[in-house]
Chain A
Amino acid sequence: DTGVSQDPRHKITKRGQNVTFRCDPISEHNRLYWYRQTLGQGPEFLTYFQNEAQLEKSRLLSDRFSAERPKGSFSTLEIQRTEQGDSAMYLCASSLQGKLAAYNEQFFGPGTRLTVL
């Protein structure tokens, strides 16, 4: 257990439905990342927060995806009008910015596995 939790762990939905995932980072961590991982591939970066500010979004994050981190604590990732291609593992990670900014070990949660039927 890394201290990063994600809920739910599994989600099955029908195409066209909206889904929302939650990530609770390690409490003192000011950075929070979302990744997506499809079968047989490494995680792909989606977006990143520094406290409550969303500072970067990947081109993978279409306008059907939205992420928030109110008050710089937990984060939610919402997917609207889900498509079968959205089926994947959605991983959340958190880290603490250090003096040497590149020493930015990310602690990953267990992920939420989304299946779109």
Chain B
Amino acid sequence: DAKTTQPNSMESNEEEPVHLPCNHSTISGTDYIHWYRQLPSQGPEYVIHGLTSNVNNRMASLAIAEDRKSSTLILHRATLRDAAVYYCILSHTTSGTYKYIFGTGTRLKVLA
């Protein structure tokens, strides 16, 4: 299974941009890159996903390296509500199913 590597924790000041890195050197050509986050005492929630091109949505931006071996989730202005564990996931295809292989994620702390 293709795996991802993320820093265990990061800190950011409120209202500053945050760049959360992820390495996925064994990614295959058809694997999508997904980011989910998990707030305390909740299930994970979708943030963004992409394949090859950079992606933007109302929550964040996803920058994907040209060789696809790494990606970066960008929160443009961190708020206290963004404090969570952020997971970088490769969607793993097995016989047409798409199970997620989560790593340990990055715990983001946002300082007021």
Contacts and interface: CB of A to CB of B under 8 A. Distances in A.
Interface in A46-97: 48, 50, 55-56, 91, 93, 95
A109 B95 contact: no
A103 B42 contact: no
A50 to B, nearest CB: 7
A108 B41 CA distance: 12
B97 A48 contact: yes
A101 B96 contact: yes
B92 to A, nearest CB: 9
B103 A42 contact: yes
B80 to A, nearest CB: 21
A25 interface: no
B97 A55 contact: yes
B11 interface: no
A109 B44 CA distance: 8
Interface residues of B, number: 26
Contact of A2 (B32, B45, B93, B104): B45
A43 B94 CA distance: 18
B88 to A, nearest CB: 10
Interface of A: 2, 4, 33, 35, 40-45, 48, 50, 55-56, 91, 93, 95, 101-111
17 contacts: A33-B100, A35-B100, A35-B102, A40-B104, A41-B104, A42-B85, A42-B105, A43-B44, A45-B100, A56-B97, A91-B44, A95-B98, A103-B49, A104-B91, A105-B49, A106-B44, A107-B46
Given A55-B97, A104-B91, 7 more contacts: A2-B43, A40-B104, A42-B85, A102-B51, A104-B98, A110-B42, A111-B43
